[in-house]
Amino acid sequence: MTKEQIRAYIDEIHAARVEHALDKLAEIEMFRVKYLGKKGIVSALFEQFKSLPAEEKREMGQMLNQLKEAARAKIEEFRGLVDTVGEKHDATDCSMPADFSPLGSRHVLSVVMNEITDIFSRIGFTVAESVEIEDDWHLFSALNFPPDHPARDMQDTFFVEKEEGRPEVALRTHTSSVQVRVMENSRPPIRIIAPGRVFRNEAISARAHCIFHQVEALYVDKKVTFADLKQTLLYFAKEMFGEQTQIRLRPSYFPFTEPSAEMDISCNICGGKGCNICKGTGWLEILGCGMVDPNVLSACGIDPAVYSGFALGMGVERMAMLKYQIRDLRLYFENDLRFLRQFESIV
C-alpha cells in the first residue's frame, strides 16, 4: 500500500458518475460494495495498514480516512440523484397488475355471536364473562344438579387433575356458571347475557364437538313471568331469522329451571313447509329455556319469595349452521381457507 495508490483511488471515486440513476440502483450498490463492503478496497487497505511501521501510520491513516469519507460522500451523492430524479419523474409502471394485500375477516362464529349479543343489548341485556375453569359449586351444585347427575361423570365433563386441599375443578360445560357468579355478587334487577367457549367430553363428528360456544341470558327481578320469557324469545327469533319467523315451546327438563322448555323456530329454509334440513317437520330446535328454579336463587343468596327470573341458552355453532346452512361442525375449527373465505363479505 502506497500514498500514490490511495490518491488514485480517491481520484477514481471523485470521477465516478452514474447516469439515469433510476436505472442504476444496482450499479450504486456495486460501487458501495467495491469500496466499503466487508471485502472491499477500504477494508483491504486497513488490513494492510496494521502491518505498517509506526512512523508511517499517522499519515497513511489520515489518507485512508479521506478515502473512506470520499466513498461515503459519493454514495450519498448518487442516492440523492436517485431521489431527485424520482421526484421529477413518475416511475410507476401502470401496466403491471395490482398487488393488493389480502384483508382478514371475522370468523363466522364471531359474526353470529356478535349478532346475538347485539340483539339482546337492544333490550337492556349487558355482557358478563368469567373463567373457563370452574369449581363444582359454580358449575353444578349451585345450579341444582343432584350428586348423581350424569354431567358430573368423567364421560361427559373434562375434569382437571385435583390437587390436595383444593376443590374439584373442571372445564366449564356451560356458561350458566357465569350466571351464578353474577347472582352471587350483585342484587336484582339482573339482566345479562353470557357468551363464551365451553367444553364437553364428546366424540368429534359432523354434529358434535368437544369445544363449542354458547350464549346464555338471565333476567331476575320482581314479578318476572313465563310470558316475559316467551316475548323475549319471539323478539330474538324475529330479529335473528326474519320477521316471518314463528316459534313454539315444548316442555323439557333442566336442573336449574322449572318449568323448562325447548324452543323451535319455523324452518327458515322451507318456510315451514318441510325439507331435509328440518326433516320434514317445518320446525328447527334452537335453544333451551325456563324459569330459574327457586333453589338456584336461594343458593345464590336471592330470596325466591320476592324475586323470580328466566334463563335461556343456545349454541352459537347451531345458530350459525341454521343461518348459513353449514352441515359440518368440524369446519368451524379446521381453519380451511376455502370455508372461511365464504364469509369475508359478512360484517
Kindly report, residue by residue over 158-192, the tens digit of the pLDDT.
Answer: 888 776 767 778 899 899 999 999 999 999 999 99
pLDDT in tens, 37-52: 888 888 888 777 778 7
* Euclidean distance between CA atoms 199 and 213, whole angstroms: 8
* Euclidean distance between CA atoms 189 and 303, whole angstroms: 12
What single DSSP character describes residue 101? P
Residue 61: all three cell numbers together: 491513516
Across the range 313-339, mean pLDDT stands at 88
Q: 108-343: what fold?
A: BirA Bifunctional Protein; domain 2 (3.30.930)
Q: Is the pLDDT of residue 85 over 70?
A: no
From the list 138, 222, 124, 153, the residue with the least C-alpha distance to 184 is 138
Residue 282: all three cell numbers together: 317445518
pLDDT in tens, 3-37: 788 788 878 888 887 665 445 677 777 888 888 88
* Euclidean distance between CA atoms 318 and 116, whole angstroms: 13
Please give the pLDDT value at position 152. Answer: 62
From the list 250, 328, 325, the residue with the least C-alpha distance to 285 is 250
* Euclidean distance between CA atoms 48 and 124, whole angstroms: 82
